[in-house]
Amino acid sequence: MFATIEDKQALSLEVFLALPETKPAREYYQGIVTQKPMPKGKHSILQFELASAINQQTKPQKLAYALPELRCTFAERSIVPDIAVIRWENLPRDIDGEMADQFLRYPDWIIEIMSPEQSVTLGMEKIIFCLQQRTELGWLIDPSAKSVTVFQTGLPKVHIATEGNNEPLAVIKGLERWSISAVDIFAWLKV
């Protein structure tokens, strides 16, 4: 579950963005500020390994960049996906051609990794909201269920990490030659 910051008056997005950043991150939607839970072991391993695996596939060809905990502000909302995958041409750059600090658009691929105290419904809502803004793909990873729910246009598809189920997960366009399954993802938890 997300912690909600109670306030008699709803904050505007501009006021929210002027607040100091916190760890764990806070998110904003319709005047409501919520704080993400502090990542724990499984969440941290999956976030690190998956972002690294995506970057190994996308960075050499300048296709995309997987960025953990990138604040994305768009459509009167400010979210911090566990992993935001941004197509190379959509990476914000400053006047020196370096990565800019503010990202004022939806991620091209959003990945949310559930913690035990998080609401799966709120995770799905965030992904669906992004898809409505033209995000191409969303993954909701649930370590307790060993599942990856893939969101694209149409109905979501749930992939359960069971022995022998090596069905590849959908990835963004241009990355189709890379094959990763729910089994591959949850294998990273074995230490």
What is the CATH number assigned to the segment(s) 39-187? 3.90.1570.10
The domain limits of the chain are 39-187
pTM: 0.92
User: Could you report the per-residue pLDDT of 77-111, keeping only the tens digit for each?
Assistant: 999 999 999 999 999 999 999 999 999 999 999 99
Instruction: Please report the DSSP string for 29-77 in residue order.
Output: ETTEEEEPPPP-HHHHHHHHHHHHHHHHHHTTTTSEEEEET--EEETTE
Q: What is the pLDDT of residue 9?
A: 60
Could you give the CA distance from residue 62 to residue 90 in angstroms, rounded to a whole number? 11
Whether 56 shows a pLDDT value over 50: the answer reads yes
Tokens 């197509």: give the residue. Answer: 87
Whether 170 shows a pLDDT value over 80: the answer reads yes
Whether 182 shows a pLDDT value over 80: the answer reads yes
Whether 48 shows a pLDDT value over 60: the answer reads yes
User: Could you report the per-residue pLDDT of 20-31, keeping only the tens digit for each?
Assistant: 999 999 999 989
Angle at alpha carbon of residue 29, lines to 107 and 48, rounded to 5° = 40
